[in-house]
């Protein structure tokens, strides 16, 4: 019988990828990243200068640009012509002090770089798979992805209009035309010799299945990286979401990392008792970020599907657990999720963000954004880098950072209640808590309440006025309510001078100060359990 095994080395799998091809890859930071395949492709170019002039399509930023380099393996001049990504990764490497090479190529205008909202980057794959003309959506109108505001172009070399604005039945929409994918890199846990794939060791599914379907619809190849190979027919069919007929090559990496700093942890797969899970959660050091997370957590409601974004928002469950708001019983009443489809358990922060500890269910990426765009996540807690006088929030492009919107636009536009969380200023902010009073030891270098945001990620005031959204901004020293005509200051931390430490540090004035301006009740911060003598002073750069 002819050997039907598709198992090969990573170098063999990428050997025939031609110059000018369009490569797509899965990955959510470090989660489900096909690191060995991306590494092999990058190595091939370094050694042979081929393939060149590639287009790279990433529904989500892939890899951490450090131990799981992901997309950074391909960040070589001449290798990439264009990149389209739902988000970008821009950390400082703790050992080298350098930013990712891909970010350098973008900053120096070396490649064509585009940033799409993750909702569009996911849903677009479905249209490619069914050979439709493109993806039509109203999500993102008026934001940076709107052609009237740049169309998602992040470099001057990005000349083509990959997003168009058009009318359909008298209403404006954004249209993302489809184009071919020549090769997709995906990642699973287990394959057999024929390529039937299962994800039993992965905390996220993301766009794996969608990428395979899209590539095959275009006549392209699918390369799957897995942890192990088992005999064909050894698993129940109900455990195999992707059939081997859609897979062309299988690359085995027995040591593939689950996520950054985590080779493998069954805690991210669910099915465990909650008591030890809650007890093992890390504690945040005291600082401005912790105050923000604590105050934001007071806006959480039980039995309300709540989606938490990256940054201070994802710290909320950790502080809730530390202060007793969240325990092994009440955790079942808080319905946590993230934009990447993990449900139940506890949302994690930092490099582990995107997946939940001890989840109860996991949706694939496209289905999760179907749910988000349907408005089923009633409450959303998100970060902010800038907020301006017109009610525009920016998280997508500021200073030298080009992270893109991620899932922010879809989430913000479709949630009913919005909470924007972050420090009042950033860049070296130092705070101290003394006798229940907040002291600003050192002010941050950059203001975040600016006259005009440098990028339009979402127009919050429009959402309040046109879609009856409720929106608040929580910082360590002040809380604002967003109304149709502007910001209303409703709460200030004890010890903070409203004029010199709030109003004078804003490039615009709130439309009013609530007559019932309240002090932030820091006495309920449970200081006895939240602080130790050595962490009273800290630096926040949220």
Coil, helix or strand at residue 347: strand
Residue 437 φ then ψ, to 5°: -110, 135
Per-residue CA distances from 19 to 51, 52, 56, 102, 105 (Å): 4, 5, 12, 19, 19
Q: At what angle do helices 312-323 and 288-297 cross, to 10 degrees?
A: 80
Reported as half-sphere exposure (CB side, CA atoms, 13 A), residue 255 has a value of: 4
**Cα–Cα distance measured from residue 249 to residue 352, given in angstroms and rounded to the nearest whole number:** 29
Q: Assign residue 513 a region: left if phi > 0, alpha if psi is -120 to 50, beta otherwise?
A: beta
Residue 215: CB atoms within 10 A of its CB come to: 28
Q: Token pair for residue 237?
A: 């069919």
Q: Which residues contact 139 (CB under 8 A, 6 or more apart)?
A: 117, 119, 120, 174, 373, 409, 410, 413, 414
Identify how many contiguous H helices and E strands the chain contains and give both numbers: 13, 35
Q: What's the burial of 324, exposed, middle or buried (CB within 10 Å: 0-12/13-18/19+)?
A: exposed
Among candidate residues 202, 339, 413, 491, the one labeled active-site is 339
**Cα–Cα distance measured from residue 531 to residue 64, given in angstroms and rounded to the nearest whole number:** 30
> Which segments of 75-208 are extended strands (E)?
80-85, 112-115, 134-137, 164-168, 171-177, 183-187, 190-192, 197-198
Residue 488 φ then ψ, to 5°: -120, 120
**Cα–Cα distance measured from residue 325 to residue 299, given in angstroms and rounded to the nearest whole number:** 12
Coil, helix or strand at residue 46: helix
The conformation of residue 446, written as its DSSP 8-state character, comes to E
Contact 244, 211 (CB under 8 A): no
Residue 184 φ then ψ, to 5°: -120, 130
Catalytic status, residue 339: yes
DSSP H stretches of helix in 304-436? 312-323, 365-373, 408-414
Per-residue CA distances from 466 to 313, 323, 387, 462, 463 (Å): 25, 37, 19, 6, 5
Contact 309, 381 (CB under 8 A): yes
Catalytic annotation, residues: 339
């Amino acid at each position: 019988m002819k050997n039907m095994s598709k198992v090969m080395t990573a170098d063999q799998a990428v050997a025939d990828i031609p110059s000018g091809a369009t490569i797509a890859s899965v990955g959510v930071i470090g989660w489900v990243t096909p690191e060995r395949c991306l590494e092999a492709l990058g190595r091939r170019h370094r050694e042979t200068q081929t393939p060149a002039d590639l287009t790279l399509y990433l529904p989500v930023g892939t890899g951490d640009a450090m131990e799981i380099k992901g997309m950074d393996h391909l960040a070589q001049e001449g290798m990439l012509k264009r990149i389209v990504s739902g988000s970008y990764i821009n950390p400082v490497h703790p050992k080298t002090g350098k930013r990712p090479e891909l970010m350098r190529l973008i900053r120096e205008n070396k490649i064509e770089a585009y940033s799409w909202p993750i909702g569009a980057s996911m849903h677009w794959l479905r249209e490619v798979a069914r050979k439709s003309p493109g993806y039509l959506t109203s999500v993102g109108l008026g934001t940076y992805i709107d052609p009237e505001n740049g169309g998602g172009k992040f470099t001057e070399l990005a000349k083509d209009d990959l997003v168009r604005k058009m009318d359909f039945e008298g209403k404006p929409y954004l249209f993302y035309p489809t184009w071919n994918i020549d090769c997709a890199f995906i990642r699973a846990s287990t394959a057999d010799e024929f390529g039937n794939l299962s994800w039993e060791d992965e905390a996220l599914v993301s766009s794996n299945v969608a990428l395979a379907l899209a590539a095959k619809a275009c006549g392209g190849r699918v390369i799957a990286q897995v942890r192990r190979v088992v005999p064909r027919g050894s698993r129940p069919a109900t455990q195999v979401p992707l059939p081997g007929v859609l897979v062309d090559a299988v690359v085995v990496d027995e040591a593939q990392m689950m996520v950054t700093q985590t080779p493998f942890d069954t805690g991210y797969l669910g099915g465990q008792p909650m008591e030890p899970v809650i007890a093992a959660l890390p504690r945040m050091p005291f600082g401005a970020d912790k105050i923000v997370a604590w105050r934001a957590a007071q806006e959480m409601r039980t039995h309300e599907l709540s989606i938490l974004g990256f940054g201070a928002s994802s710290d909320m469950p950790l502080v809730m657990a530390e202060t007793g708001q969240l325990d092994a019983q009440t955790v079942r009443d808080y319905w946590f999720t993230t934009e990447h489809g993990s449900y139940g358990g506890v949302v994690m922060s930092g490099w582990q963000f995107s997946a939940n500890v001890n989840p109860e269910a996991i949706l694939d990426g496209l289905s999760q954004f179907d749910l988000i765009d349907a408005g089923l996540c009633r409450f959303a807690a998100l970060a902010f880098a800038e907020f301006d006088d017109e009610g525009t929030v920016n998280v997508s492009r500021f200073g030298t950072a080009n992270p893109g919107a991620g899932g922010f636009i879809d989430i913000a536009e479709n949630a009913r209640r919005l909470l924007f969380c972050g420090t009042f200023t950033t860049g070296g902010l130092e705070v101290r808590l003394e006798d229940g009073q907040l002291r600003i030891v050192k002010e941050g270098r950059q203001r975040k309440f600016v006259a005009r945001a440098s990028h339009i990620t979402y127009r919050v005031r429009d959402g309040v006025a046109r879609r009856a959204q409720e929106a608040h901004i929580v910082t360590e020293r002040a809380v604002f309510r967003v109304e149709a005509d502007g910001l209303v200051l409703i709460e200030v931390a004890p010890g903070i001078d409203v004029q010199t430490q709030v109003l004078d540090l804003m490039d615009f004035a709130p439309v009013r100060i609530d007559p019932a301006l309240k002090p932030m009740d820091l006495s309920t911060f449970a200081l006895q359990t939240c602080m130790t003598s050595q962490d009273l002073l800290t630096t926040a750069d949220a």
